Structure 1
Amino acid sequence: MKDRERKPYLVEFPVIGEPSVGFISIAEKAGVLPFDCKRVFWIYNTPESILRGRHAHYATEQIIIAVTGRILVTTELASGEIQVFVLESPQSGVYVPPNVWHTMQYSSNAIQLVLASTAFEEADYIRDYAMFKQVWN
């Protein structure tokens, strides 16, 4: 499937365990990850009034997970199609393919974990919305 045709979707991680001892979820290429993970980062202590993200990537694929709290993830394709995902559980995440504009808004106690397909490279980011629309339309 070409990058332009890929859309964000919810990823469900396996849940192993029981309430009496706790749970573990696993993200592996052989399982639910659609890419080899090259970078992991997390975001925390973000005020509820802040809207983060506001960018797209030329090449990077990501899975965004709410380890704790609630994260509202809004994605937009170059065609204008918008999807909104509410993450409130560490057993699911949003797959964000390249060429998708995305923003995140957090509850006060949210911790976001991101699995990325590439190492950080500033040249991979499209941070200007008008440029995003121009590049992918």
Structure 2
Amino acid sequence: MANNDDVVVIEIPKVKDARGNLAIVEKDILPYKVNRVYYLYDVPSDAFRGGHSHKAQYEFLIPVSGSFDVILKDGSTTRTITLNKPDKGLLIVPGIWRELENFSSGSVCLVLASDVYEESDYIRDFNHYLSLEG
């Protein structure tokens, strides 16, 4: 059973250059092969995203621009992580409830997922999620 200690911030290797920085996600940065890439943008500051858990899918969230908060719940504890540096991403393992909020103006959240979209992998009701964790 996953818990909030299994969720980790990973520093993304970067190449610094006078022309700008280059962040690189390759090789063994993630413990899975990326099968889907999507991003959230133009999210109003008072909007709420996420609100689900995955049964099997891993996700790596990168704040490409701006900042946002990720609220993580494992049925026992709640943890909030602010993502605001494009060279640090958050690896969320299966079985963790996640909510995203407090998006800054112009923020972009890039997600590298371990699997393609599969509705059956989602748990979208928090009470149902709690019943599975207990």
Structure 2 residue aligned with 1:24: 22
- In structure 2, how many angstroms separate the alpha carbons of the residues matched to 1:15 and 1:109? 22
Report % sequence identity: 30
Aligned counterpart for 1:67 among listed residues 49, 54, 64: 64
Aligned counterpart for 1:43 among listed residues 17, 35, 40: 40
Paired amino acid for 1:95 = L
Structure 1 residue aligned with 2:91: 95
Structure 2 residue aligned with 1:13: 12
- In structure 1, how many angstroms separate the alpha carbons of the residues matched to 2:77 and 2:35? 28
CA shift at 1:44, angstroms? 0.4
TM-score with structure 2 setting the length: 0.93
Q: Secondary structure at the match of 2:86?
A: coil
CA shift at 1:38, angstroms? 0.5
CA shift at 1:4, angstroms? 2.6
Q: Secondary structure at the match of 1:22?
A: coil
1:28-81 Cα deviation digits (max 9, x unpaired): 2x2311211110000100100011101000000000111000011111112x22
Q: Spell out structure 1 runs of 4+ moving beyond 3 A.
A: none
Number of residues of Structure 1 aligned to a counterpart in Structure 2: 132
- Kindly report the root-mean-square deviation, in angstroms, between the aligned alpha carbons of the 2 structures: 1.2
CA shift at 1:102, angstroms? 0.3
State whether residues 7 and 77 of structure 1, in contact with CA within 8 Å, keep that contact through their aligned partners in structure 2. Answer: no
- In structure 1, how many angstroms separate the alpha carbons of the residues matched to 2:47 and 2:59? 21
Aligned counterpart for 1:111 among listed residues 79, 99, 108: 108
Runs of 5+ unmatched residues, structure 1: none
TM-score with structure 1 setting the length: 0.91
- In structure 1, how many angstroms separate the alpha carbons of the residues matched to 2:31 and 2:68? 22
Q: Secondary structure at the match of 2:127?
A: helix
